């Protein structure tokens, strides 16, 4: 029974992890049809921001929830102005340029922080579940992931900003003739996506440890999650997070974590073959 | 024979022979060991550039076939004890894997981005799997896969049929050089066949080609297989050069390196990827010798700048400049020389 509880919590945690790390990428892809391959590095930068703030004596929750999104959001803004805005409509070129950006950021972080792994201490201690020791911090991550998804949904669905954003994405010409500049909307969307990545990086830093190359661990999972999810930001990310989270954890418990990860990647290939437009290209078509 | 040679359209034989001579004499002037790996990378980049430039298929995980070639060679060389059959297997098995994956992608009519995900994911699966194969239970025949530490100590290339005469140093260099030139000619030959014309047609307008009755998925799968076979061959040579195979042959860095080399050299040419890989490969080796500047930083910056400022690459830009120059200098007395290449006459200015 305890063991079932452990498995259940691990599955929920994995779903939360996938949703949290893909949220920023999903906003950018779903809204702008831009794939940002430097997303993993944005997550990594959020982690390093949290680490730097923590070392400077700033409260760790303030660092991960406020400072990390702001700093990475600003970096995203600079990137959008310098690189992305020249490449709208050229999907493959965008992927290549952001891949270059991801290498560039790995190099820059290696030169600044060194290439050895560093850790941020976990601010929440563990608890006992029957005879198992569980990480209490995982529950915090589940909570944050839920809050992020709910927040993005509420903003997109019920605020004027969200309405303008959805309108500009659906038909840029109409939006601009109504007085909203699509370029500004794209800029803000990309910045928001980067900020979400920074938040994910800050929150996950205590659990995963930090390396300049740790972005690679996020980008592949986030990439397959959002692409399998399809164009709808919330419904797509959630549905594919659930599928991949369940499959990878169940297989991990049945065999090894590596096999679990391979199962998830293989499943992504099969799902893409069956549903080339993603899950929300076939189901939940009218969702956000 | 002569007609067979001529049918390889588009080869500028003057340039080709000059390049072959440079390759022939290069070991006299440069470290052979380094020159060999540059040629291996050039072959790898050629495999990607051929597919990307002429069929418009960009594989974000071409390291999968490079690495597969390396591992298949190492595993079968340990088991067989000589190099001829492993070399053939290192071409065939990546081609087979590419046939399965290519057919799945192209018959599934998967669009660009999703194809990017699939190719990337395939290389990641292999990377993760190979990293996790430490321990005695992961062995194929006598070959232990060795996980993160890789597989050292397999027999290197030997003279076919004579396992005791192994090739090392300068002979290996010439094997790689000849393979590179032959693969180049193979690509040119394919492009000159009607198959190559269909390929270009599909790149330009897939729907129209299909309406004309060509089977686009089959053609694309075929080109994917050819490219993977060449990548496998380069991986096999790389294993011989390094004398060890580690999971890093499957890594994202290998994939991104080859994309950068191809992109910088010039997508849509064959010589571009070759020269791009050799030049940037040399830069990579030089950067590896110092610790001041991180080489990710440099290559990332190069990729960004090329995508933004010179999306067609260096060689096409140079060809354009060269073409303009020679046309201008030849313009007054252009009577005698008929151009063999098919050119479209520029429209008359009003």
How far lies B164's CA from each of B77, B81, B240, B241, in Å? 13, 10, 16, 18
Largest CA-CA distance found in chain A, in angstroms, rounded: 63
**Best A103, A106, A261 residue to mutate vs chain B (most B CBs within 10 Å):** A103
Interchain CB distance below 8 Å, B303 and A96? yes
* pTM of the full structure: 0.86
Nearest residue of B to residue A215, measured between CA atoms: B252
Nearest by Cα to A169 from A188, A154, A150: A188
Classify A210 as helix, strand or coil.
strand
Mean pLDDT of chain B: 84
pLDDT level of residue B336 (50, 70, 90 thresholds): very low
Q: How many whole angstroms separate alpha carbon A195 and alpha carbon A205?
A: 15
Q: Looking at beta carbons, which residues of chain B come within 8 Å of A35?
A: 113, 116
CB B273 within 8 A of CB B266: yes
User: A118 to chain B nearest CA, in Å?
Assistant: 19
Q: What share of chain A is helix, strand, coil (3-state, %, to 5)?
A: 75, 5, 20
What is the pLDDT averaged over residues B7-23? 78
User: A117 to chain B nearest CA, in Å?
Assistant: 17
Question: What's the pLDDT tens digit per position in A63-116?
Answer: 889 999 999 999 999 999 999 989 888 888 888 899 999 999 999 999 888 888
Q: Give me the residue from A86, A104, A216 closest to B301, CB to CB.
A: A104
Nearest by Cα to A20 from A191, A214, A198: A198
Helix locations, B151-250, DSSP H: 170-192, 194-204, 206-211, 216-242
The whole-number pLDDT of residue A59 equals 87
Question: What's the pLDDT tens digit per position in B54-80?
Answer: 988 888 889 999 999 999 999 999 888
Helix axes B271-288, B170-192, angle to 10 degrees: 150
Question: What's the pLDDT tens digit per position in B255-311?
Answer: 989 999 999 998 888 999 999 999 999 998 888 888 778 888 999 999 999 989 888
Q: Give me the residue from B110, B296, B302 closest to A276, CB to CB.
A: B110
> Which DSSP helix (H) or strand (E) runs through B96?
helix B84-107
User: A206 to chain B nearest CA, in Å?
Assistant: 24
How far lies A244's CA from each of A115, A169, A219, in Å? 31, 27, 15
CB B247 within 8 A of CB B132: no
User: B113 to chain A nearest CA, in Å?
Assistant: 7
Q: How many whole angstroms separate alpha carbon B207 and alpha carbon B220?
A: 13
Backbone dihedral region for residue A223 (phi beyond 0: left; psi -120 to 50: alpha; all else: beta): alpha
Classify A103 as helix, strand or coil.
helix
The whole-number pLDDT of residue A29 equals 85
What is the pLDDT averaged over residues B166-181? 87
User: A273 to chain B nearest CA, in Å?
Assistant: 6
| A129 strand-pairing partners | A132
CB B236 within 8 A of CB B73: yes
pLDDT level of residue B10 (50, 70, 90 thresholds): low
Question: What's the pLDDT tens digit per position in B228-248?
Answer: 999 999 999 999 999 899 999
Residue bearing the bigger pLDDT, B319 or B348:
B319
Q: Looking at beta carbons, which residues of chain A come within 8 Å of B48?
A: none
Q: Give me the residue from A91, A93, A100 closest to B113, CB to CB.
A: A91
**Two tokens, residue B94:** 């990546």
Interchain CB distance below 8 Å, B294 and A111? yes
Residue bearing the bigger pLDDT, A132 or A251:
A251
Q: How many whole angstroms separate alpha carbon A275 and alpha carbon A283?
A: 10
The whole-number pLDDT of residue B5 equals 52
CB A279 within 8 A of CB A229: yes
The whole-number pLDDT of residue A206 equals 87
Q: Give me the residue from B129, B263, B300 closest to A103, CB to CB.
A: B300
User: What DSSP state is assigned to residue B349?
Assistant: P
ipTM of the complex as predicted = 0.86
Cβ neighbours around B211 below 10 Å, total = 9
The whole-number pLDDT of residue B344 equals 40
Helix axes B63-80, B252-265, angle to 10 degrees: 120
Q: Give me the residue from A104, A258, A273 closest to B132, CB to CB.
A: A258
The whole-number pLDDT of residue B333 equals 47
Q: How many whole angstroms separate alpha carbon A24 and alpha carbon A31?
A: 11
| B267 strand-pairing partners | B269
CB B315 within 8 A of CB B276: yes
**Two tokens, residue B74:** 């190492």
Classify A207 as helix, strand or coil.
helix
CB pairs under 8 A between A and B: 116
Nearest residue of B to residue A259, measured between CA atoms: B129
pLDDT level of residue A288 (50, 70, 90 thresholds): low
CB A212 within 8 A of CB A106: yes
């Amino acid at each position: 029974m305890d063991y079932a509880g452990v498995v259940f919590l691990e599955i929920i945690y994995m779903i939360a992890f996938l949703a949290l790390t893909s949220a920023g990428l999903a906003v950018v892809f779903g809204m702008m049809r831009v794939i940002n391959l430097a997303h993993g590095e944005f997550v990594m930068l959020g982690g390093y921001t949290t680490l730097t703030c923590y070392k400077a004596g700033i409260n760790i929750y303030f660092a991960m929830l406020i400072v990390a999104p702001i700093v990475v959001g600003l970096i995203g803004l600079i990137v959008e102005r310098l690189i992305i805005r020249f490449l709208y409509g050229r999907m493959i070129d965008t992927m290549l340029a952001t891949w270059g950006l991801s290498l560039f950021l790995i190099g820059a972080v290696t030169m600044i922080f060194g290439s050895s792994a560093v850790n941020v201490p976990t601010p929440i201690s563990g608890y006992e579940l029957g005879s198992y020791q569980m990480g209490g911090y995982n529950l915090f991550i589940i909570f944050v992931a839920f809050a992020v998804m709910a927040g993005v949904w509420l903003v997109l669905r019920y605020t004027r900003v969200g309405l303008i954003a959805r309108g500009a994405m659906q038909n840029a010409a109409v939006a601009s003739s109504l007085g909203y500049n699509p370029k500004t909307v794209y800029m803000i969307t990309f910045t928001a996506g980067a900020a979400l990545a920074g938040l994910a990086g800050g929150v996950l830093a205590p659990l995963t440890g930090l390396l300049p190359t740790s972005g690679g661990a996020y980008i592949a999972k986030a990439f397959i999650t959002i692409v399998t999810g399809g164009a709808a930001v919330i419904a797509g990310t959630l549905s594919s997070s659930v599928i991949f989270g369940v499959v990878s954890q169940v297989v991990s418990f049945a065999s090894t974590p590596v096999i679990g990860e391979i199962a998830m990647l293989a499943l992504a290939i099969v799902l893409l073959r069956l549903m080339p437009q993603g899950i929300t290209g076939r189901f939940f078509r009218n969702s956000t | 024979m002569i007609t067979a040679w001529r049918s390889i359209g588009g080869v500028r034989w003057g340039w080709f022979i000059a390049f072959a001579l440079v390759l022939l004499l290069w070991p006299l002037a440069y470290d052979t060991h380094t020159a060999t790996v540059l040629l291996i990378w050039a072959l790898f980049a050629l495999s990607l550039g051929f597919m990307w430039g002429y069929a418009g298929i960009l594989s974000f995980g071409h390291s999968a076939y490079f690495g597969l070639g390396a591992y298949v060679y190492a595993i079968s060389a340990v088991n067989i004890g000589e190099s001829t059959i492993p070399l053939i297997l290192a071409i065939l098995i990546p081609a087979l894997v590419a046939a399965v994956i290519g057919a799945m992608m192209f018959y599934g009519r998967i669009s660009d981005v999703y194809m990017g995900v699939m190719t990337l994911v395939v290389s990641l699966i292999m990377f993760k799997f190979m990293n996790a194969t430490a321990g005695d239970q992961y062995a194929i025949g006598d070959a232990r896969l060795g996980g993160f530490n890789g597989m050292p100590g397999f027999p290197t290339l030997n003279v076919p049929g004579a396992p005791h005469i192994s090739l090392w140093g300068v002979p290996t260099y010439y094997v790689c050089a000849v393979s590179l030139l032959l693969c180049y000619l193979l690509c040119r030959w394919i492009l000159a066949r009607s198959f190559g014309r269909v390929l270009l047609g599909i790149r330009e307008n897939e729907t129209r080609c299909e309406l004309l009755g060509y089977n686009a998925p089959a053609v694309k799968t075929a080109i994917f297989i050819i490219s993977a076979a060449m990548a496998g061959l380069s991986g096999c040579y790389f294993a011989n050069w390094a004398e060890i195979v580690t999971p890093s042959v499957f890594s994202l860095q290998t994939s991104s390196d080859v994309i950068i080399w191809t992109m910088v050299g010039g997508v849509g040419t064959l010589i571009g990827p070759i020269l791009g890989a050799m030049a940037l490969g040399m830069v990579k080796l030089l950067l590896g010798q110092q610790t001041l500047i991180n080489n990710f930083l440099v290559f990332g910056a190069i990729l960004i700048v090329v995508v933004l400022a010179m999306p067609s690459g260096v060689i096409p830009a140079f060809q354009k400049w060269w073409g303009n120059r020679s046309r201008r200098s030849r313009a007054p007395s252009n009577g005698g020389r008929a151009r063999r290449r098919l050119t479209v006459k520029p429209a008359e200015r009003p």
